[in-house]
């Protein structure tokens, strides 16, 4: 299944002209940047929560 999907995707991109490829690449790059920003935000939020409440591992160690 994966190979067929890949072949379809390759055929699709080969059918596009240069401007369409540039437009698609620009959109994908923008989506990736948004994902990176969201990952950074979630990581920062996670670090803040760990700072506020400690990690689960710290609580387990303190019970021992």
What predicted TM-score, i.e. pTM, was given to this entire model? 0.64
Q: What is the mean pLDDT of residues 10-25?
A: 96
Q: Is residue 21 a contact partner of residue 13, using CB atoms and an 8 Å limit?
A: yes
Please determine, for residue 62, whether its predicted confidence score (pLDDT) is greater than 80.
Answer: no
pLDDT for 64 equals: 56
CA–CA gap between residue 16 and residue 5 (Å, rounded): 17
Give the model's confidence band at 63: pLDDT under 50 very low, under 70 low, under 90 confident, else very high.
Answer: low
Percent of the chain with pLDDT over 70: 86
């Amino acid at each position: 299944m994966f190979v067929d999907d890949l072949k379809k995707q390759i055929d699709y991109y080969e059918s596009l002209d240069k401007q369409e490829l540039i437009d698609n690449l620009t959109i994908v790059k923008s989506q990736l940047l948004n994902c990176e920003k969201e990952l950074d935000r979630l990581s920062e939020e996670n670090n803040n929560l760990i700072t506020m409440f400690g990690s689960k591992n710290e609580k387990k160690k303190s019970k021992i």
